[in-house]
């Protein structure tokens, strides 16, 4: 898939909770196919003190309007300034970047586990994976109820479960404490996860122990996003691999976790 640098039009910027925003960007020409797990690298010109682009994974694509949306969680100066952009602003974006999750086979039963900004590719995958909703199970974890976002637009594509560390929404604890994970893990054919490293490692370990297919999407720091700076490498069983081109999605069997 050809990567391009394009000036995109910000057509919507919706605040989802105290620190999560959905930015909808429109391309002037037909969008290429974009799959869950793929990401884009965004220039945040208004944040003059930052030098490099910032990568964000894609939350959703609308090919009719040539728009895609990003889930932007405020983590630092770059993401904070990006959330202040308004409809009508132009934003330079390099896309589409990286690999995508392996789509499930049609009779698979899948478990999607997301946390933080890693919720975005999980919701996108639930939407487009093509399975019957009863076979799609999604666990979303956050610190507290206020850190979760409204997922009602994705409700029709699967079954959703929530965990919070303080018990304010859903099951109290981490995603791995949810009974769907802790008791039913063996019933899934494929497990997909994206979120904080510790969360993904916990999910990956359990899946590996039970010999279940599991893919994770990594968020290593990167400068370029298209495989030339070699800064975002992850140690794999086959040596250092660029997360931006050979990932961000990796099968856990390839990692040294």
Partner 1 sequence: MVDLSVRIKDLTFKNPVLTASGTCGFGEEIADFMDLSKLGGIVMKGTTLKPREGNDYPRMAETPSGMLNAVGLQNKGVDNFIQNIYPNIKDIDSQFIVNVNGSTIEEYVELTEKINELDKIPAIELNISCPNVKEGGMAFGVSCPSAEAVVRAVRKVYSKPMIVKLSPNVTNIAEIAKAVEGQGADAVSLVNTFLGMAVDANTRKPVLSTITGGLSGPAIKPIALRMVWQVYQAVKVPVVGMGGIMNATDAIEFMLAGASAVQVGTAIFIDPTIPVQIVSGIQSYMETHGIQSASELTGSLQI
User: Which of 156, 221, 237, 256 is close enough to bind partner 1 by CB under 8 A?
Assistant: 221
User: Which of 109, 205, 227, 253 is close enough to bind partner 1 by CB under 8 A?
Assistant: 227
| CA–CA distance, 129 with 133 (Å, rounded to integer) | 10
| CA–CA distance, 32 with 196 (Å, rounded to integer) | 28
| CA–CA distance, 71 with 133 (Å, rounded to integer) | 23
CB 34 within 8 A of CB 59: no
Query: What DSSP string describes 69-110?
Result: EEEEE--SHHHHHHTT--TT-EEEEEEEES--PPPPPTT--E
Q: Is 94 in the site for partner 1 (CB under 8 A)?
A: yes
Q: Is 246 in the site for partner 1 (CB under 8 A)?
A: no
Stretch that binds partner 1, among 135-143, 188-196, 197-205, 221-229 (CB under 8 A): 221-229
User: Which of 186, 187, 228, 251 is close enough to bind partner 1 by CB under 8 A?
Assistant: 228
Stretch that binds partner 1, among 108-116, 160-168, 195-203, 222-230 (CB under 8 A): 222-230
Q: Is 236 in the site for partner 1 (CB under 8 A)?
A: no
Query: What DSSP string describes 195-241?
Result: S-HHHHHHHHHHHHHTT-EEEEE-----SSSSSSS--SEEEETTEEE
Compose the 41-70 pattern: x for residues touching partner 1 by CB under 8 A, - for all others.
Answer: --x-----xxxxx-----------------
Closest contact distance (angstroms) between CB of 223 and partner 1 is: 4
Interface positions with partner 1 (CB under 8 A): 2-5, 43, 49-53, 92, 94, 220-224, 226-235, 239-240, 245
């Amino acid at each position: 898939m050809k990567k391009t640098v394009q000036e995109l039009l910000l057509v919507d910027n919706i605040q989802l909770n105290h620190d999560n925003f959905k930015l909808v960007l429109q391309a002037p020409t037909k969008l290429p196919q974009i799959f869950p797990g793929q990401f884009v690298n965004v220039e945040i010109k208004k944040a003059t003190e930052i030098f490099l682009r910032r990568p964000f994974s894609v939350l959703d694509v609308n090919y009719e309007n040539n728009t895609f949306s990003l889930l932007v969680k405020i983590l630092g100066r770059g993401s904070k300034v990006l959330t202040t952009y308004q409809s009508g602003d132009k934003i330079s974006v390099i896309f589409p970047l990286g690999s995508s999750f392996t789509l499930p086979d049609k009779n698979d039963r899948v478990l999607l586990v997301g946390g933080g900004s890693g919720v975005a590719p999980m919701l996108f995958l639930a939407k487009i994976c093509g399975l019957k909703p009863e076979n799609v199970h999604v666990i979303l974890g956050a610190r507290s109820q206020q850190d979760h976002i409204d997922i009602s637009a994705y409700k029709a594509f699967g079954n959703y479960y929530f965990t919070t560390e303080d018990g304010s929404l859903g099951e109290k604890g981490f995603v791995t404490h949810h009974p769907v994970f802790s008791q039913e893990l063996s019933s899934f054919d494929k497990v997909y996860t994206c979120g904080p490293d510790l969360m993904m490692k916990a999910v990956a370990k359990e899946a590996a122990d039970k010999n279940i297919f599991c893919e994770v999407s990594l968020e290593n720091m990167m400068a370029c996003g298209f495989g030339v700076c070699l800064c975002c490498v992850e140690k794999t069983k086959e040596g250092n691999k660029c997360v931006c081109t050979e990932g961000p999605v990796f099968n856990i069997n390839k990692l040294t976790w």
